[in-house]
Amino acid sequence: MQPELHPILVVTSCDRKDTCSTLSRAILENKLAACIQVSAPVESMYWWQGEVVEDREYVVSIKTEKRLFAELADLIRSIHPYDVPEIAAVDIVAIDEPYARWMVQSMK
């Protein structure tokens, strides 16, 4: 693995699949991720404005590099229709070397 790569998985969610597609395409066109996966609808429950809300959402999993997180988060917020979108990252603690090389080549 290339030493400068610090891979992370960023997660957000959207209420509409077309929003996920628009968001994913913008992220990829800006070279802020190597790969994005959009899940089938899931049931989400969360607190919003003092109430427990139940919604159907699509989970968007974004494979990227830690140094791109702030720029990625800015882009997500600029496109996302939610007032407070989820933008959470976890470290990828192990990654296959050929995949890591491909990630490096796919991002800015």
The Cα-based distances of 4 to 1, 58, 104 in angstroms read 9, 31, 9
* pLDDT tens string 48-99: 999 999 999 999 999 999 999 999 999 999 999 999 999 999 999 999 999 9
Per-position b or e across 6-29, b if 16+ CB within 10 A of its CB: ebbbbebbbeeeebbeebbeebbe
* pLDDT tens string 30-58: 999 999 999 999 999 999 999 999 999 99
Whether 1 has a pLDDT exceeding 80, the answer reads: no
Residue 71 has a pLDDT of 98
Phi-psi category of 21—alpha, beta or left, where left has phi over 0 and alpha has psi -120 to 50? alpha
Residue 3 has a pLDDT of 52
pLDDT confidence bin for 4, thresholds 50/70/90:
confident
Average of per-residue pLDDT values in the chain: 95
Task: Please give the Cα distance from 82 to 60 (Å, whole number).
Answer: 14
Alpha-helical (H) ranges within 53-96 are: 69-79
Neighbours of 38 (CB within 10 A): 17
Whether 2 has a pLDDT exceeding 60, the answer reads: no
Token pair, residue 45, equals 């429950």
CATH topology of domain 7-106: Alpha-Beta Plaits (3.30.70)
Residue 47 has a pLDDT of 96
